[in-house]
């Protein structure tokens, strides 16, 4: 068995990081690394990755439905219209991460996202410009390789561009986690049962 791969009681080989929680395994198996082109879903991921800063992703996953209720399903135009009264309500919502700067950044980033949509046609079209080429990727996705991938030239370039456009909580490490999540890269380890699924989804994916 390859290093970094764990076989569960169900006989499924998975990446080491998702063991120990059924919700984490489901996220790993069915979502992480699958390419996305839906702007609402992409905006949700940007927001959630921002809220995750300093916390574990599992904490965010467990609060995800509460975040969706609190942020109008992450409909970009609705979030962009949130006002100070809505911020106060969010700060009182125990189901989400009650961090004023992160809450306000999600609203601010919604406004900036609408500007990107006006310019690029969609958030998806903009983000997929930053997909790294094969030469930028490890030859084999091993545990040793993925541990080094906290940020990359592509995630740094995306971070610079978003910061220049006024986005907040979009550092290169946060954005590399986003790229992993939404399928701009396939970081499932060699030997993980989900890796060929994610790679197959990438092959048939039509870039926006």
**Active-site residue, from 24, 32, 44, 49:** 49
Q: What are the DSSP calls for 8-77, one per residue? A: -TTS-EEEGGGTT-HHHHHHHHHTTT-----HHHHHHHHHHHHHHTTS-HHHHHHTHHHHHHHTGGG-HH
pLDDT for 5: 93
Query: Is 57 labeled as catalytic in the residue annotation?
Result: yes
Domains delineated in the chain: 5-204 (1.10.340.30)
Tens of each residue's pLDDT in the chain, 208 residues = 568 999 988 899 999 999 888 999 999 999 999 999 999 999 999 999 999 988 999 999 999 999 999 999 999 999 999 999 999 999 999 999 999 999 999 999 999 999 999 999 999 999 999 999 989 999 999 999 998 999 999 999 999 999 999 999 999 999 999 999 999 999 999 999 999 999 999 999 999 9
Query: In 3-state terms, the chain is what percent helix, strand and coil (to 5)?
Result: 60, 5, 35
**Active-site residue, from 27, 31, 104, 161:** 27
Query: Is 199 labeled as catalytic in the residue annotation?
Result: no
pLDDT for 101: 97
Query: Is 27 labeled as catalytic in the residue annotation?
Result: yes
**Taking the complete model, does pTM exceed 0.75, yes or no?**
yes
**Active-site residue, from 17, 31, 57, 151:** 57
pLDDT for 2: 64
């Amino acid at each position: 068995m390859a290093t970094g791969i764990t076989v569960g009681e169900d006989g499924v080989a998975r990446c080491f990081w998702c063991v120990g929680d059924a919700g984490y395994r489901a996220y790993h198996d069915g979502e992480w690394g699958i390419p996305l082109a839906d702007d609402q879903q992409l905006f949700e991921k940007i927001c959630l990755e921002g809220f995750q800063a300093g916390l574990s992703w599992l904490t965010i996953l467990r609060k995800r439905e509460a975040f969706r209720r609190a942020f109008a399903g992450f409909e970009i135009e609705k979030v962009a219209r949130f006002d100070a009264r809505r911020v106060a309500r969010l700060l009182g919502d125990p189901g989400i991460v009650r961090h004023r700067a992160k809450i306000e950044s999600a609203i601010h980033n919604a406004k900036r996202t609408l500007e990107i949509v006006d310019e690029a046609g969609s958030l998806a079209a903009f983000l997929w410009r930053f997909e790294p080429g094969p030469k930028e990727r490890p030859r084999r996705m091993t545990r040793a390789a993925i541990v080094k991938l906290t940020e990359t030239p592509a995630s740094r370039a995306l971070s610079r561009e978003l910061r220049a456009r006024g986005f907040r909580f979009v550092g290169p490490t946060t954005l590399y986690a986003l790229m992993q999540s939404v399928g701009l890269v396939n970081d499932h380890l060699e030997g993980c049962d989900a890796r060929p699924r994610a790679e197959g989804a990438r092959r048939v994916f039509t870039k926006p």
